[in-house]
Amino acid sequence: MNHAEDDEVRVLLVEDDSALAQMYRVKLERDGYTVHVAGDGEEALSVLTYELPDLIFLDVRLPRMDGFAFLERIRATQWTRNIPVVILSNYSGAELVSRGLRLGALEYLIKGRTTPGQLSEGVRNWSRPYTFDEPLAPIPMRDVL
């Protein structure tokens, strides 16, 4: 994740709706970003075994492993702890937003209020290096579905 050596910004988009994923991917790639799409948290974890992105856009409601479980996993591991994550969800409940931010998301964006252009405009700022000094305390998993 060193932008000084490499201007390429690698984005991991974790989204189970293929039409939305395609829409965001196309805009991000047109703006010069390299995008990998994963359809759920398990697939996203698999991607992290061979490539660390500069930024993760993460949906919350996903099959197999939801976004919160994924976020807890990456924050608990030294290798992935400092990857910046921006949640992009259809769900705007205060408890969900609060939980995402407590788990270390930089922002919690609502899909219906966020255009692909707005996502792309934020990439350079969101993908700057971050360091979480202390491991984030795990939050007990509750059934939020």
Domains, in order of start, for the chain: 13-126 (3.40.50.2300)
Question: How far apart, in whole angstroms, are the C-alpha atoms of residue 73 and residue 67?
Answer: 10
pTM, 2 dp: 0.85
Mean pLDDT of all residues belonging to the chain: 87
46-59 pLDDT, tens per residue?
999 999 999 999 99
Token pair 């979480």: residue: 132
H/E segment holding residue 125:
helix 116-126
Paired with 13 in beta bridges are 37, 57
Question: How far apart, in whole angstroms, are the C-alpha atoms of residue 44 and residue 12?
Answer: 8
Q: How far is CA 91 from CA 10, 54, 103, in A?
A: 26, 25, 16
71-101 pLDDT, tens per residue?
999 999 988 999 999 999 999 999 999 999 9
Least confident range from 47-51, 59-63, 129-133: namely: 129-133
